[in-house]
Amino acid sequence: MLFLICFAASRVMSQSFTVDDLLKLSSLPSKDIAQFMSKKEYSPHAGSLDNNLIATIFNENAKARKRDSLNSRSIDLYKKDDSKYFVLHTSSMNEFMDGKSQLIKEGFFYDTNLNPGQDTSMLFQKLNITIETLTGMDDSLPVYSFLLKKKELPDPRSIQHAEDLLNFTSHQYLVGFFGESNVKKDLYYFSDKEIRKCSVLFANTNHQAVFVWGDENNLCDLAYVLISNESPTLSSQQYSGFISNNEWQLKNGLRPGMGINELLKLNEKDFEIYGNQSEYAFIVKPDNSGKIDFRKFAISFSCNNCNNEKLLNTSYIKATDVLQEMLPMHVTNIIIFSKNH
């Protein structure tokens, strides 16, 4: 038993840099990084990464390498766009496994379908921090890495229009900005046969927005944002209270609840809507010949007491014809597509 205790203690002492240290490093002001790394017995030098990025690379100094000659470690620091990156490389599989266990203890969200003891490539998320685990080879030796990305939170004043919500590319990033009480995990009824995981901002309020993810397991990789008065989510179906008209508005003035006459004025040109003979009935056809680029959005209408079968039972309808027949068509759903999808 004493042998096991001493062995465990020697392992802890030999780890000159851990995942906890990486998290602490990411929280430090730039002016304090050099001193912190010096205390951890690391020395800096300049280096280059892919995409012409210049990084500061910290390597263990001679004293640290002498204390643990069996393993090697290094840390890369660089900045790209609105994010800072901190990368820990180690040759120790034990340290790699310990690091993943520590992230789970720290409350990082991850895909529970994966086995941290077996799956090497994983994504851990917490607020505006993501940590990706990676494995590779360097001079025929294994290298295990933790790539920490810390994304800056936007200025609250910059979140004014519905398109601004595209900045939030994961559930955890939403939580980091709006607070956990305002962001809920939910189920989105994509069709009668397909249900997808989603996140809902300000559920069952007049500022509700639904975030549909490309990666459902990790709740990230934003596919699109849905702004609607009738959101097809589980929480909406279970809610029996009254919700006033959704107040999110696009920069071009488009908003849920507006009539087809208002949309015609905004576009300054006629547009077409799929008719009842199409699987996309009551959705605006993608087009960018007017003021609004309908290719960036999917806009659907509702029409109560619309009994004009001659006009509606076609493949598509002109908006001006709907207006001329005085059909009460109103915008129900606005889907704003992410640039990556």
26: pLDDT strictly greater than 90 = yes
Residues 46 and 134 reside in one and the same domain: yes
The answer to whether residue 247 sits within a structural domain is no
Residues 201 and 332 reside in one and the same domain: no
pLDDT in tens, 162-194: 999 999 999 999 999 999 999 999 999 987 788
Residues 141 and 193 reside in one and the same domain: no
The answer to whether residue 106 sits within a structural domain is yes
Give me the pLDDT at residue 243, please: 85
Question: What residues make up the domain containing 311?
Answer: 260-337
Q: Is 206 helix (H, G, I), strand (E, B) or coil?
A: coil
* Domain-terminating residue out of 132, 151, 170: 151
The answer to whether residue 325 sits within a structural domain is yes
Instruction: Determine phi and psi for 280, rounding to 5 degrees.
Output: -105, 35
Residues 24 and 134 reside in one and the same domain: yes
Q: What's the rounded Cα separation, in Å, for the pair 335 and 105?
A: 37
Is residue 93 within 8 A of residue 144, CB to CB? The reply is yes
The answer to whether residue 40 sits within a structural domain is yes
From 48, 53, 50, select the one nearest 79 (Cα to Cα). Answer: 53
Q: What's the rounded Cα separation, in Å, for the pair 57 and 69?
A: 20
The pTM for the full model equals 0.89
The answer to whether residue 244 sits within a structural domain is no
Mean predicted lDDT score pLDDT of the chain:
90
* Domain-terminating residue out of 93, 128, 151: 151
Mean pLDDT of 43-50: 79
The answer to whether residue 310 sits within a structural domain is yes
The answer to whether residue 206 sits within a structural domain is yes
Mean pLDDT of 41-66: 83
Residues 171 and 127 reside in one and the same domain: no
Which pairs count as long-range contacts for 136-141, CB under 8 Å and 24+ apart, including other chains?
Answer: 141/91
Instruction: Determine phi and psi for 100, rounding to 5 degrees.
Output: -65, -40
pLDDT in tens, 116-153: 999 999 999 999 999 999 999 888 889 999 999 999 99
Residues 15 and 143 reside in one and the same domain: yes
The answer to whether residue 92 sits within a structural domain is yes
51: pLDDT strictly greater than 80 = no
Give me the pLDDT at residue 15, please: 56
* Domain-terminating residue out of 121, 151, 181: 151
Q: What's the rounded Cα separation, in Å, for the pair 323 and 160?
A: 31
Residues 209 and 307 reside in one and the same domain: no
Residues 35 and 56 reside in one and the same domain: yes
Mean pLDDT of 252-259: 94
Residues 234 and 283 reside in one and the same domain: no
Residues 141 and 101 reside in one and the same domain: yes
Residues 129 and 164 reside in one and the same domain: no
From 196, 207, 200, select the one nearest 171 (Cα to Cα). Answer: 200
Q: Name the residue with higher pLDDT: 269 or 14.
A: 269
Mean pLDDT of 72-98: 95
Structure tokens, 35: 């001193």
Residues 54 and 143 reside in one and the same domain: yes
12: pLDDT strictly greater than 50 = no
From 116, 56, 62, select the one nearest 86 (Cα to Cα). Answer: 56
Question: How many domains does the chain divide into?
Answer: 3
